[in-house]
Amino acid sequence: MNIVGARTTVVGTPWRELVFLELVTDDGRTGVSEVRMVNKTSTLLACIDELAPRHVIDTDPFDVERLSWNVLRAEYGRPEEITQSALAAFDVASWDLMGQSLGVPIWKLLGGRFRDRVPAYANGWYQSDRDPKSIASLARAVVDRGYRALKLDPFGAASAEIAAADLRQAVAIVAAVREAVGPDVQILVEMHGRFTPATAIKVAARLEPFDPAWIEEPVAPENPQATARVRAATRLPIATGERAHTMEDIRPFIEQSLVDVVQVDLTHFGGFLAMKRLAGWADAYSLLLAPHNVCGPVGTMANVHFAVATPNYKILEHFNDFADPWVQELVDAPPTVDRVDGCFAAPERPGLGVRLNHDACAKHPRTGGRITLFEHGWERREGRSQKEEGGSQKARVRRRKSDK
């Protein structure tokens, strides 16, 4: 079985673009993967187009060690967000082909069944004004949907510091959510790397009475020294890692005991092979994994397979019940969170167990949608309008014509 073709499909939403890769083999199989690139979709597509002929076409999909080495080492340039995301797309689609050829779900190849149920937490649900009553009402709906955990960023467009009134508003939001969901539901507070260490410490102290299960990226994620200052000043667990793309990126946070929950994103970290290595390393430091996941149904399914086979897995992020729920229609058998216990079930179909619905994908062309974290109202996840993106595309066309 050799890979003979690679094709990409991009689905647009108001605030994110989902990139799907399909690898086709000479015996007629198709392996699929997904990456939600952070605001750089076209760059990722260019990288896939460049690397696929070099390292994927005419190779055996079982040779993922060689694939990883080629992208990480043989390319010579240092791996980073774009190349690691392209590698993840190649890797996951290759594992899908392996599972299909052997007639088993991927988790059987990653170590077998460690758990039957994968706990999930909801994100993307707080699409309203920054009003405590409104957000508390939405939080109750999340719990009614079956989730036992939910995450929110209540800090508006704050950057570095936060105004006193905005901090009071943020604390009031978290307090209202805690009152609405009760003491047994986990509240995860996302800070998106917004704050200086001094501000993050002040914010954490104000949040402690509401017992958040973690504070996430309290300071810039590339700065272990800043994280160390927060670590020394708070009793709250710290989660970080979604913007780590290599082992070297996350190394100081693990080895210096600066993180309690490792949130590296499977689709930006090189795929299953890299994540298995990370899981073993984190386990040596008694750390849990809660991978970042802003994907649609294909990337989410990949995370479910990884979770089923990984002992030190804590919980999986999930957007698709609240932000763009129609993305579930993009595949034939999307992963779903059970309303009874807030968990995903272990997949049983061979490979990933999902196939793209190309007709459904075609209904949602690229939008230029992206996250605009430091603009007021970003939490509504309305992104850039198609009109705005169309205007920028026309400007690019005009520039290209003027260059001729």
292: annotated active-site residue: yes
Identity at 311, one-letter amino acid code = P
| Torsions phi, psi for 19 (to 5 deg) | -100, 120
pLDDT tens column, 204-222: 999 999 999 999 999 999 9
* Distance between CA atoms of residues 198 and 69, nearest Å: 41
* Mean pLDDT for the stretch of residues 132-160: 98
245 has catalytic annotation: no
Q: Is the pLDDT of residue 14 over 90?
A: yes
Q: What is the mean predicted confidence (pLDDT) over 159-186?
A: 98
Residue 220: partners with Cβ closer than 8 Å, 6 or more residues away: 193, 226
Q: Are strands 117-122 and 316-318 parallel, antiparallel or unpaired?
A: parallel
Q: What is the DSSP string of 196-208?
A: -HHHHHHHHHHHG
Q: Are 78 and 67 in contact (CB under 8 A)?
A: no
**Which member of 55, 245, 268, 292 is catalytic?**
292
For residue 244, name the pLDDT band (cuts at 50, 70, 90).
very high
pLDDT value for 384:
58
Range 166-182 average pLDDT: 98
pLDDT above 50 (res 151): yes
User: Over the chain, what is the mean pLDDT?
Assistant: 94
Mean pLDDT, residues 149-158: 97
Average pLDDT over residues 25-34: 98
pLDDT of residue 382: 85
Q: What is the CATH number of domain 107-350?
A: 3.20.20.120
What pLDDT is stored for residue 396 in this prediction?
39
Tens of pLDDT, residue by residue over 370-393, are 989 899 999 988 875 444 444 444
Containing 82, the helix (H) or strand (E) segment is helix 81-102
Domains of the chain by residue range:
107-350
Instruction: At 244, list the tokens.
Output: 């780590």
CB proximity list for 285: less than 8 A, separation 6 or greater: 254, 255, 257
Q: Could you give the dihedral angle defined by the CA atoms of residues 94, 95, 97 and 100, in that order, rounded to the nearest 10 degrees?
A: 180
pLDDT, one tens digit per residue, over 31-82 is 999 999 999 999 999 999 999 999 999 999 999 999 999 999 999 999 999 9
- pLDDT reading at 182 higher than 80: yes
Q: What is the pLDDT of residue 316?
A: 98
Burial class (CB in 10 A: 0-12, 13-18, 19+), 392: exposed
